[in-house]
Amino acid sequence: MAVVCRISRPGKRVTDAADFEQALNDQFQGLPIVSQGLYTSPTGTGNKTVTTHGLGYFPAHIIFIKVGSRWEYFFGGWVDSSQLRINGNAGAQFYYFIFAVDIETNITQITQNTTAGGSVGTPTVGVRVRHAGGADGVNKNLDFDSKNPPLIIHSLTNRTYSSSPPLDDNVSHNLTRVPFFLVYLRLTSTRYGLVSNTVNSTVSASSSAVFYIFLNPPATTKVATLILKNPID
């Protein structure tokens, strides 16, 4: 299908902008936020519900935890088909994002151009779409802003393994740059969690693939790898 709508990022020509230099392309799926917020964990131990998303599927998500004056990735949380939850950390502050993407679906790679395009003068006017009821001139009230475009999905790959440990595999991409990526592991039949680098797991990315290693995975392991077009190098 031919491209119907393309909007480039500020300073880039739309005619030859690379995939990661585009703010909007109707052939690429974005990563829309359905819920975000600050959460302070109450006293006590055990599992705690951060929010009820009620989506009916396992959504992609990110959680941050405040450590002193800094914010860090938090890997002690998980989602099921209705809630985002954490374990312990009484009194800690968290900030979370939940995205409208089902981890258990596959999104096929679509690549048009991996080479950076030509530059133009910095524009003073872009494309902005305000959500209903939002005040004018407030960035957080915008559904779309070409000067601050959303993340764009390159692919979402689900794989199931039943081999003996360790599990060592990778998901290739053709972006020629190191992409923003998220790897999720199915923890139980009803939970997915974001994977971090620990003594039992390693996740990393190069300009050609996203890699993961699990030393002691479950007997049947399901891994979802979300690769975005937005580069981190």
pLDDT of 126 strictly over 90: no
pTM for this model (two decimals):
0.85
Find the mean pLDDT for residues 117-136.
67
What is the domain partition of the chain in residue ranges? 153-231
> Which among 182, 218, 163 is positioned nearest to 58, based on CA atoms?
182
The predicted-structure confidence for 143-187, as pLDDT tens digits, reads as follows: 777 777 788 999 999 999 998 889 999 999 989 999 999 999 999
Percent of the chain with pLDDT over 90: 52
Q: Is 150 helix (H, G, I), strand (E, B) or coil?
A: coil
Is the Cα dihedral 104, 110, 116, 121 positive or negative?
negative
Give me the pLDDT at residue 12, please: 84
115 has a pLDDT exceeding 90: no
Domain 153-231: give its CATH architecture.
Sandwich (2.60)
- What distance in Å separates the CA atoms of residue 136 and residue 116, rounded to the nearest whole number? 33
Label residue 37 by pLDDT band (50, 70, 90). very high
Query: Cβ distance 89 to 65 under 8 Å?
Result: yes
What is the separation of C-alpha 42 from the centre of its chain, rounded to a whole number of angstroms? 27
Residue 160: count other Cβ atoms within 10 Å of its Cβ: 9
